């Protein structure tokens, strides 16, 4: 009898486990965790318990995430998809996870991120994209991602990163950039400015080390003098303003086109062409032109005044000379016609 009851309870427990947790996974009610790591999954497993908050899917062979993959698990707070075979993520794949706080996508094969990939994740705080093959990032991660405090993009293939993306994440505290082939040319100037401000506000970063051009390979971007970006600042500002009015798709195309060009400052900011960052004659500001005009006019006026003063001096000297000569000529005859009496008196007074 006791053996029969044990068999019945085992069957009931087995049925509950099979129904409440996918095959190959281990589900823990107390911690609300589904442990599905190292199980050989190629897709997100179905029939996950709706109440789970932690889903561990690392070390599988998952190569795609369907748009509705997490519809049944809306309470997830931690999702670990590290060390899988993801090459891309469908836009909106995570949009049902409104309570998600930590998303780990490290050690996959992701090449790019769409601008709506992480939309509608208002509680997301940590986003780890390290150790992928990402060649570009969008201008935004999507709607409601402003609460991200940690972003890691280290160990990828990024050559640049849009400043506007980082500015859309006002709560960032930690940003990791290590081991990317950063091109320290005009396209990274905005990132340099943002990083300096971020660190000044107390942010934490592992820094950006230049991979090109060759003359600055291995150097810290923050230590590259501003003078070497002098010809880029105006152009960067114009490109930024222009791109803000374009459709995102066109923006990606134009960004890639600009990124494919190699710009240089005295042949240092790029390896090849000199189209973008080549030093050009910078137009003088309007205020400087006005200042130059004022100086020129002032100089002309002062010159005229000096000439007038010189002419007056010459005229005065000439007038004085003529007057002296006139008096001299008229005083000589008076002395010659002096009376004999006066002459004798004058002579008698002499010893």
Over residues 64-86, the mean pLDDT reads: 93
Residue 224 placed within a domain: no
174 and 310 housed in the same domain: no
Residues 6+ apart with CB under 8 A from 198: 166, 172, 175, 205
163 and 14 housed in the same domain: yes
Q: How confident is the model at residue 310 (pLDDT cuts 50, 70, 90)?
A: confident
Q: Where are the alpha helices (DSSP H) in 123-167?
A: 163-167
Residue 156 placed within a domain: yes
Residue 235 placed within a domain: no
Domain end (from 180, 196, 220): 180
Over residues 198-222, the mean pLDDT reads: 92
Residue 259 placed within a domain: no
pLDDT of 280 over the 80 cut: no
List the single range of 179-188, 195-204, 273-282 with lowest mean pLDDT: 273-282
Residue 332 placed within a domain: yes
176 and 301 housed in the same domain: no
Domain end (from 180, 196, 226): 180
pLDDT of residue 336: 52
pLDDT tens-digit profile of 172-181?
A: 999 999 999 9
296 and 159 housed in the same domain: no
pLDDT of residue 341: 52
Over residues 93-115, the mean pLDDT reads: 93
CATH number at residue 172: 3.80.10.10
pLDDT of 329 over the 60 cut: yes
List the single range of 61-65, 111-115, 206-210, 239-243 with lowest mean pLDDT: 239-243
Exposure string for 119-131, b = 16+ CB within 10 A, e = fewer: bbbeebbbbbbbb
Strands 26-28 and 33-35: antiparallel
Hey, CA dihedral for 232, 235, 238, 240, is it positive or negative?
Answer: negative
What predicted TM-score, i.e. pTM, was given to this entire model? 0.64
Q: In the chain, how many domains are there?
A: 2
The pair phi, psi for residue 211, each rounded to 5°, is -105, -20
pLDDT of residue 52: 97
Residues linked to residue 210 through DSSP beta bridges, in sequence order: 182
pLDDT of 46 over the 60 cut: yes
Between 279 and 105, where is the model more confident?
Answer: 105
Residues 6+ apart with CB under 8 A from 107: 82, 83, 84, 130, 131, 132
Assign 135 to helix, strand or coil. Answer: coil
- Of all residues in the chain, the percent with pLDDT exceeding 70 is 71
- N-term to C-term CA, the chain: 177
Which tokens hold the place of 254? 């134009």
Which tokens hold the place of 84? 């899988």
Give the domain extent around 343: 286-348
Q: Which of 108, 153, 107, 97 is nearest to 127 (CA)?
A: 153
Q: Where are the alpha helices (DSSP H) in the chain?
A: 2-20, 163-167, 189-200, 233-243, 248-260, 286-336, 340-348
List the single range of 34-38, 86-90, 203-207 with lowest mean pLDDT: 86-90
20 and 151 housed in the same domain: yes
Q: Which of 86, 255, 268, 276 is nearest to 158 (CA)?
A: 255
pLDDT tens-digit profile of 283-300?
A: 444 455 666 777 788 888
| Cα gap 308→162, rounded to integer Å | 63
34 and 159 housed in the same domain: yes
161 and 308 housed in the same domain: no
Cβ burial of 305 (10 Å; 0-12, 13-18, 19+) is exposed
Residues 6+ apart with CB under 8 A from 162: 137, 138, 139, 190, 191, 255
pLDDT of residue 232: 73
pLDDT of residue 342: 47
Assign 217 to helix, strand or coil. Answer: coil
The per-residue pLDDT of the chain, averaged, comes to 78
Q: How confident is the model at residue 343 (pLDDT cuts 50, 70, 90)?
A: very low
pLDDT tens-digit profile of 238-254?
A: 444 444 444 444 444 43
Between 328 and 17, where is the model more confident?
Answer: 328
Which tokens hold the place of 85? 């075979």
| Cα gap 132→192, rounded to integer Å | 23
pLDDT of 18 over the 60 cut: no
Between 277 and 188, where is the model more confident?
Answer: 188
Residues 6+ apart with CB under 8 A from 4: none
170 and 295 housed in the same domain: no
pLDDT of residue 218: 92
Residue 337 placed within a domain: yes
pLDDT of 37 over the 80 cut: yes
pLDDT of residue 98: 93
pLDDT of 165 over the 90 cut: yes
Domain end (from 159, 180, 201): 180
pLDDT of residue 241: 44
pLDDT of 278 over the 90 cut: no
Note whether 46 and 70 are within 8 A (CB).
no
Strands 204-205 and 54-56: unpaired
List the single range of 86-90, 219-223, 266-270 with lowest mean pLDDT: 266-270
Between 247 and 330, where is the model more confident?
Answer: 330
Assign 126 to helix, strand or coil. Answer: strand
Residue 294 placed within a domain: yes
Residue 260 placed within a domain: no
175 and 308 housed in the same domain: no
């Amino acid at each position: 009898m006791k053996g029969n009851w044990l068999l019945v309870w085992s069957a009931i427990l087995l049925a509950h486990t099979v129904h409440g947790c996918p095959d190959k996974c281990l589900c823990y009610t107390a911690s609300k965790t589904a442990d599905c790591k190292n199980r050989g999954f190629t897709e997100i497993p179905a029939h996950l318990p709706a109440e789970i908050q932690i889903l561990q899917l690392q070390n599988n062979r998952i190569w795609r995430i369907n748009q509705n993959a997490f519809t049944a698990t809306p309470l997830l707070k931690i999702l670990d998809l590290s060390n899988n075979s993801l090459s891309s993520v469908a836009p909106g794949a995570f949009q049902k996870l409104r309570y998600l706080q930590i998303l780990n996508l490290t050690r996959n094969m992701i090449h790019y991120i769409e601008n709506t990939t992480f939309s509608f994740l208002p509680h997301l705080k940590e986003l780890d994209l390290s150790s992928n093959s990402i060649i570009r990032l969008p201008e935004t991660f999507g709607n409601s991602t402003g609460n991200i405090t940690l972003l890691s993009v280290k160990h990828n293939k990024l050559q640049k990163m849009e400043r506007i993306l980082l500015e859309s994440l006002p709560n960032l505290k930690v940003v990791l950039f290590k081991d990317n082939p950063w091109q320290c040319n005009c396209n990274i100037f905005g990132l340099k400015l943002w990083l300096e401000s971020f660190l000044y506000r107390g942010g934490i970063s592992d820094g950006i080390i230049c991979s090109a051009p060759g003359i600055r390979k291995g150097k810290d971007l923050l230590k590259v003098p501003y003078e070497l970006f002098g010809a880029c600042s105006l152009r960067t500002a114009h490109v930024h303003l222009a791109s803000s009015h374009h459709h995102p798709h066109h923006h990606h195309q134009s960004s890639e086109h600009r990124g494919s060009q190699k710009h240089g400052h005295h042949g240092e900011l790029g390896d090849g062409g000199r189209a973008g960052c080549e030093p050009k004659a910078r137009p003088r500001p309007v205020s400087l032109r006005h200042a130059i005009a004022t100086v020129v006019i002032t100089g002309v006026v002062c010159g005229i005044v000096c000439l007038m003063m010189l002419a007056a001096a010459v005229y005065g000297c000439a007038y004085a000379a003529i007057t002296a000569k006139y008096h001299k000529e008229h005083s000589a005859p008076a002395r010659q016609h002096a009376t004999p009496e006066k002459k004798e008196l004058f002579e008698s007074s002499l010893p």
